[in-house]
Chains A and B, each alone.
Chain A
Amino acid sequence: MLVKDVMRSPVLTVDETVSLGAAYTLMLERNIRHIAVTRAGQVVGMVTDRDIRLASSSLNQGGVKPLETPVREVMSHPLVTADPLDPVEEAARAMRERKIGALPVMDGAEMVGIVTGVDLLEALLHLTGVHKPSGRLEVALLDRPGELARLTSFLAERNVNIHSLLTSPSSSEGVVAVARVGTLDTHRLAEELRAGGFEVRWPPDKFSPEPGIRNPEP
């Protein structure tokens, strides 16, 4: 699941000279929390309802800012962005690390969407972050009873711990299981799985004709 699958577009933007009051009204009207701020048409920052409420609050230690203040004075910048081809878990990690609630999605210099924490809740049901050092194993399974058990037993027999596991449908008759496993040597595991009849999607068999790493020859 990629950012482009969960992002929303078009993105509401305001020029950096627009006032806090006007931006807040827009948020209330559209029932949104984030607006991208532009300068000469280029996105340069993000402003949130929280930024505006804090700036205009008497609790703000810096003093209450008048509602005429331009948004550029309270916006967050520099931008933290996502690429449309980023997996959603990467966007989630960026947002948590940087303590922000939304990322503009940039395809080169062009903003093509926005992804917010709420958008990621859907993805959270399917994906999981990396909590422990682990390798990634992706196996295509037939969509029928016992297939996942066959995979997990195989791993258990080799004393390999599964830190997380997610499955998603890949086609009418198949599912893809992505496991985070407690081993550095996922290639050896993949080799054994292949020998055991599993279709391993990751890691690849490096030394097969595709992608084709050649062993040295005389």
Chain B
Amino acid sequence: MSVPVLYSPHYLEYNFGPQHPFSPQRLEMLLDLLGSLGQAPLYLEPPQATREEVRSVHLESFVRRVEAASTGEIPPDLGAYGLGTGDTPTFAGMDAATRWLVGGTLEAARIIMRGDAQQVLQLGGGLHHAQADLASGFCVYNDLSVAIRHLTQQGLRVAYIDIDVHHGDGVQWIHYDEESVLTFSVHESGRYLFPGTGHIHEIGKAAGTGRKLNVPLEPFTEDSSYLEVFGMTLEPALSWFRPDVLVVQCGADAHYMDPLAEILLTTDAYRQLFTLIPQYAEAFADGKAIYTLGGGYNLDSTSRVWALLYLMLQNQPLPDHLPEPWLRRWGSLLGRFLTHTPLDPEGGYSEIPRRPEIERRNRQVAVRLLETARPYWR
């Protein structure tokens, strides 16, 4: 059985302007790639999320500001809500455009609830920085948290897994005291990268204590160290927590080509992650998982990572080469040479002299995280 895919042309309306890194071009390029591979997704078009659904995680005052800004009005306190900033500028129709993305992730949750599918792929969303009353880091509303809340309100236990290179702070803070939500974010350390949080000692509060997990990595972390600490920490956490469903934010910006961060994953690491995570779903969550997109700001690597995600979920073989027409079309459109293979060529970056030190520190972070959180795993 194929994995249902959620997508809507309305997703392209989430657009902060031509110079902005969170570009809808990423989706167009991905869909064109899948189509060129003869794998055009037969997607379901989700309904737009309603205002009430957005309000399940966002404050009224915040939603009002987003609505006002969407009509071109500029309330004087917009900045206090993270809007109208360089990262998250306002645009006409912003509220509606974001609700389309929220609607997709929420629809994925409904599909899981109905038992119509075990796994669902949302080709969009992953707006993990948005907080209850704050737009932040290219994210207006938090589609992930709206979906997670829908699931927990019906009694499900949710494990949220965030492989975006930035800390999944919005999702963490929204569910910080919740017993039925495990959040797990692996990211470049906040010591170096936006948003600055995601420390191992952020383990939740009240009934949520021990259920919010963060693996902050050293800059220039490579595949083997990343995968080592990922397995070391996530597997025991899921084995203990036994979620009913996984919600996975598949940001592609930990790739070495990404211009916004300093983690050095190759597409082969993503291939392994997209093998491992469904295995974890099978072992610990009755096979259930929702996958969303997220960050990813190099068009070359991002489209390949997400194509891998799609093909692997659909149990399709990876092509040896990417289709020539697609390479020509997008190569000339972007004015640059594109990688010709799904996986990266050898030697994409020069050797990292600090590698042993980086591996040691990452391992120590993983050990310290487990020592910190495990006493609460009862």
| B348 A136 Cβ-Cβ under 8 A | no
| A217 B337 Cβ-Cβ under 8 A | yes
| A135 B371 Cβ-Cβ under 8 A | no
- Interface membership of B352, Cβ < 8 A: yes
| A161 B85 Cβ-Cβ under 8 A | yes
Cα–Cα distance between A211 and B82 once the two chains are bound (Å): 33
Cα–Cα distance between A217 and B259 once the two chains are bound (Å): 17
Binds B, one of A37-45, A91-99, A142-150: A91-99
Contacts A161-B85, A184-B87; is A211 near B195 (CB within 8 Å)?
A: no
Q: Is the interface of A mostly helix, strand, loop or mixed?
A: loop
Cα–Cα distance between A214 and B345 once the two chains are bound (Å): 11
- Interface membership of A204, Cβ < 8 A: yes
Cα–Cα distance between A137 and B219 once the two chains are bound (Å): 14
Question: Counting chain A CB atoms within 10 Å of each CB, which of B85, B86, B256, B347 scores highest?
Answer: B86
Cα–Cα distance between A202 and B262 once the two chains are bound (Å): 11
Interface size class of B (residues with CB under 8 A): 35 or more
- Interface membership of A183, Cβ < 8 A: yes
- Interface membership of B166, Cβ < 8 A: yes
- Interface membership of B378, Cβ < 8 A: no
Name B's A-contacting residues (CB within 8 A). Answer: 21, 79, 82, 85-87, 129, 134, 136-138, 166, 169, 190-197, 199, 201-203, 219-220, 256-257, 259-260, 262, 264, 300, 336-339, 345, 347-350, 352, 361, 364, 368, 371-372, 375
> Which residues from A are CB-within-8-Å of B195?
130, 133-135, 184
Interface size class of A (residues with CB under 8 A): 35 or more
- Interface membership of A172, Cβ < 8 A: no
| A211 B193 Cβ-Cβ under 8 A | no
| A218 B337 Cβ-Cβ under 8 A | yes
- Interface membership of A185, Cβ < 8 A: yes
| A213 B337 Cβ-Cβ under 8 A | no
- Interface membership of A69, Cβ < 8 A: no
Cα–Cα distance between A154 and B104 once the two chains are bound (Å): 40
B87: contacting residue among A79, A130, A183, CB under 8 A: A183
Mask, A95-122, CB within 8 Å of B = 1, is: 0011000000000000000000000000
| B137 A184 Cβ-Cβ under 8 A | yes
| B201 A94 Cβ-Cβ under 8 A | yes
- Interface membership of A5, Cβ < 8 A: no
| B194 A186 Cβ-Cβ under 8 A | yes
Contacts A159-B85, A218-B337; is A204 near B262 (CB within 8 Å)?
A: yes
Which residues, 167 to 218 on A, are CB-close (under 8 Å) to B? 180, 182-188, 202-204, 206-207, 209-218
> Which residues from A are CB-within-8-Å of B85?
159, 161, 182-183
> Which residues from B are CB-within-8-Å of A93?
199, 201
> Which residues from A are CB-within-8-Å of B349?
211-214
Q: Show 11 A/B contacts (Cβ-Cβ < 8 Å), sorted by A.
A: A97-B202, A130-B197, A135-B193, A135-B195, A136-B192, A161-B85, A185-B21, A185-B260, A210-B350, A213-B349, A216-B300
Contacts A130-B197, A213-B349; is A184 near B166 (CB within 8 Å)?
A: yes
